[in-house]
Amino acid sequence: YEYHLSLVGYEMCIRGNHKTLGVIGADRIGLGVAKRAQSFGMKILAFDPYLTDEKAKSLSITKATVDEIAQHSDFVTLHTPLT
Residue 42 CB-half CA count within 13 A: 26
- The pTM assigned to this predicted structure is 0.80
Instruction: Show the domains of the chain with their CATH numbers.
Output: 17-78 (3.40.50.20)
Q: What angle do CA 60, 64, 69 make, to 5 degrees?
A: 105
Averaged pLDDT, 66-71:
98
pLDDT in tens, 5-56: 555 555 555 666 788 999 999 999 999 999 999 988 899 999 999 999 999 9
